[in-house]
Structure 1
């Protein structure tokens, strides 16, 4: 295995990755492309990963600041996970979930349920986060149909949210750029304000802002009618929205309104689950809520295999089993539901998390947050915020107006380009830089990461001044 890897790395180094880049331009459609470059674009070519580092096609070693896509939680090149993939594939590579099952999926469901809050005790597996959210919403529709509430189907979502790329999950997304040119099930979704304290109205305190959000939610339920609303879907921390941490008490109060009005609370933990905030799930352990469903993906296998799922409340399942429609079928499933290789990898990944990675994350998270916070000394930085091992640096034209629009819209990409040159990969989001490194990162590596990010922001400030875009 190592010999094959070294051979491929040698071949790539010899060509500088030119062959793969050319093939990508000719044959590969990248995700989230623009019409002007769709099907004719190549992106930065990554050849190897090791621990918290990746190596690009030029041989440059980079800190993997986003941990892939919020997912490489236990780090790259974990031999334990690679070995499990091989061993499970040699034992059983696949079984149809329509009329058979496999042992790893059953054991993993038991282990996951043991970490879930409240009475969330049953798991339906999917292939990723989008299909997990889609499954939760289809289950809500089925649940209300069986109960005799076919009109109770509307979904509450929020500004700044990101819940996926499938048709129904993408309809929940609250970022305009996700929907500008794409269709969605707009008639099924009601959008509420983002719970972003940094963007609250000027002069409004945090307590008043929380009351505003809760009142808006309650008023919407009253106006639309609880008999029409089937679910609320919310991330405990809005990840792709810019690591938005809701104000204290907000999630608990929303949960109470949902419970009082028979609205299913779906906690989207595709990003926050499996260690990102130091626990397997953040809903209960960090935010003190017990949702009706939790969606997960990404960190469940640390990105080594596509796997996701939904954990569902025992109460909901009991209601269905007691219904007057015992033959009603939840007509939903995927070819790769309960995939034995994915579930085996997830079991070993969970072993690693439980043995040391979760405790390490809780130990280094305060240092990570404190070091990132020092970047607020830079005049381009409006706010640094985060929780656990996820953080966001938001850049603004000036701190008084908090206006990002007067800046070059690609300021995040500018910072990322400088950081790439210096040895760090950043997740740029317009005027923001998001960091969510592998959970095994050390204090020394945090110092390196923040030092490079500081220099990347400083160089970007110099560029903006020279171009007359910014005077800070």
Structure 2
């Protein structure tokens, strides 16, 4: 057995950081690895964080552009959350959810239900976004089995979608390369077009594109048969697909089709909930829809503790209670369902969100979008898009054809590397750069972020020109 060693990174020393990197290369399997380097790679080491900033392994202070991964909404190093975590662990660190319950989960369920639209009033807690979506899909299957409709199980999803990493949730994904080498339940999923206005045909208006998407959805229901379709699952804004903001009224029209055909509408708000778009939930307040189920995670604890969940319509539960199978069991749960520490942290996080952060996010979002769009004057940038405190810079080789650069993943990685050296962490997505900073970001910090991003893109353009792969 290898000796266990302690690494003291409290001083941010280079020696301790270097040792952590070597240990990772020898023992740590990273998410989304390539076969050629699996189990032998190290990634950028982060040693600390405060506010909107993080500190890397070399002691460099960086703006946390992605807010972790869409999740550190209230910022790093919030003592209020750390103290609640400690206090709850000292009071009750864990209880089994199979035959006991805890007070924080009940209180949190009530508070979340108060923000949910329509009759969504019942919460099932999970460990994160993937397990939240998986729970919703399994609930749909259970619901239709109990109601005597075992054939009503197909799922409608879209190109560009990202819904998780578990087997069923990953089967919904529609991003390039996520599925190339992984098995998925393709027989259960029907994929529709991405609602990306930037990629619509050149001669098509946004309004006509919206009509096309709705007609495609309607025709799919007709072709497949509503009696076979259990649910549509969609993000209000496709986050990891590149911050795809759908055309106006598109989601409302899809919701109507689902309602008319008894298809459950699952709104995946793992990213958009808890302030990212200026509301606790964006489905109704931003997009005017009342889903049957909402999934959430990330911002519910601002990433301080793994927690997610789904909110289920009262109508659906009433249907189950009135069924002829009162003993049918929704045989689904997780060891850490309704974790007392996670729920206590979420309650304190909601206090912060309600205590001014939500108002601040609403106030600063227009400035964030305005400043990001100034980057559209760079020749490498095809479009800057976003909503709330979500933004994406999409790079193209040619603005007329909108072709992505042949360098593909390298473009985003190059920009991220330059920005890292300049003091900004970017989330590179192939030829796109995604920004979703902590909701506490100020106007002057937005100016800093955009200035660094501009310089990072400019340096990348210089690199591409020197290598002769892009003329600009």
Return 400-409 or 247-256, whichever deviates more: 400-409
Residue of structure 2 equivalent to 1:345: 345
For structure 1, the 5+ residue unaligned runs are 1-5
Alpha-carbon distance, 1:176 to partner: 2.7
Please state whether the residue corresponding to 1:309 is helix, strand or coil.
strand
Q: Distance in 1 between matches of 2:408 and 2:34?
A: 19
Residue of structure 2 equivalent to 1:233: 233
Provide Cα deviations, 1:134-188, integer angstroms capped at 9, x if missing partner: 0000000000000000000000000000000000000000013110000000000
Q: Distance in 2 between matches of 1:176 and 1:150?
A: 32
Q: Distance in 2 between matches of 1:9 and 1:380?
A: 40
Residue of structure 1 equivalent to 2:160: 160
Residue of structure 2 equivalent to 1:336: 336
Return 62-71 or 401-410, whichever deviates more: 401-410
Residue of structure 2 equivalent to 1:9: 10
Alpha-carbon distance, 1:16 to partner: 5.2
Q: Distance in 2 between matches of 1:311 and 1:240?
A: 22
Q: Distance in 2 between matches of 1:184 and 1:8?
A: 40
Q: Distance in 1 between matches of 2:92 and 2:10?
A: 30
Residue of structure 2 equivalent to 1:34: 34
Alpha-carbon distance, 1:408 to partner: 4.8
Residue of structure 2 equivalent to 1:110: 110
Residue of structure 1 equivalent to 2:264: 264
1:243-254, aligned counterparts within 5 Å?
A: 243-254=243-254
1:271-282, aligned counterparts within 5 Å?
A: 271-282=271-282
Residue of structure 2 equivalent to 1:200: 200
Q: Is the 8 A contact 1:396 1:407 kept in 2?
A: no
Residue of structure 1 equivalent to 2:4: none
Q: Is the 8 A contact 1:94 1:340 kept in 2?
A: yes
Provide Cα deviations, 1:12-56, integer angstroms capped at 9, x if missing partner: 415150110000000000000000000000000000000000000
Please state whether the residue corresponding to 1:29 is helix, strand or coil.
coil
1:58-73, aligned counterparts within 5 Å?
A: 58-73=58-73
Please state whether the residue corresponding to 1:93 is helix, strand or coil.
coil
* Residues 452, 16 of structure 1: alpha-carbon distance in 2 compared, 3 angstrom cutoff: farther
Residue of structure 2 equivalent to 1:315: 315
Residue of structure 2 equivalent to 1:367: 367
Residue of structure 2 equivalent to 1:462: 462
Alpha-carbon distance, 1:7 to partner: 6.3
For structure 2, the 5+ residue unaligned runs are 1-6
Q: Is the 8 A contact 2:395 2:405 kept in 1?
A: no
Alpha-carbon distance, 1:409 to partner: 3.7
Q: Distance in 2 between matches of 1:363 and 1:190?
A: 39
Please state whether the residue corresponding to 2:10 is helix, strand or coil.
helix
RMSD over aligned CA atoms reads: 1.0
* Residues 341, 287 of structure 1: alpha-carbon distance in 2 compared, 3 angstrom cutoff: same
Alpha-carbon distance, 1:407 to partner: 4.4
* Residues 348, 34 of structure 1: alpha-carbon distance in 2 compared, 3 angstrom cutoff: same
Q: Is the 8 A contact 2:88 2:344 kept in 1?
A: yes
Q: Distance in 2 between matches of 1:151 and 1:366?
A: 46
Residue of structure 2 equivalent to 1:56: 56
Q: Distance in 2 between matches of 1:249 and 1:376?
A: 26
Please state whether the residue corresponding to 2:311 is helix, strand or coil.
strand
Q: Distance in 2 between matches of 1:69 and 1:345?
A: 18
Q: Distance in 2 between matches of 1:34 and 1:278?
A: 37
Q: Is the 8 A contact 1:408 1:469 kept in 2?
A: no
Q: Distance in 2 between matches of 1:450 and 1:368?
A: 9
Residue of structure 2 equivalent to 1:412: 412
Please state whether the residue corresponding to 1:9 is helix, strand or coil.
coil
Please state whether the residue corresponding to 2:19 is helix, strand or coil.
helix
Give me the TM-score of the superposition, normalised by structure 2: 0.98
Residue of structure 1 equivalent to 2:174: 174
Please state whether the residue corresponding to 1:49 is helix, strand or coil.
strand
Q: Distance in 1 between matches of 2:361 and 2:18?
A: 38
Q: Distance in 1 between matches of 2:67 and 2:453?
A: 15
Q: Is the 8 A contact 1:152 1:228 kept in 2?
A: yes
Return 267-276 or 406-415, whichever deviates more: 406-415
Alpha-carbon distance, 1:9 to partner: 1.9
Q: Is the 8 A contact 2:14 2:57 kept in 1?
A: no
Alpha-carbon distance, 1:8 to partner: 3.4
Residue of structure 1 equivalent to 2:134: 134
Provide Cα deviations, 1:301-330, integer angstroms capped at 9, x if missing partner: 000000000000000000000111000000
Please state whether the residue corresponding to 2:168 is helix, strand or coil.
helix
Residue of structure 2 equivalent to 1:3: none
Q: Is the 8 A contact 1:397 1:407 kept in 2?
A: no
Give me the TM-score of the superposition, normalised by structure 1: 0.98
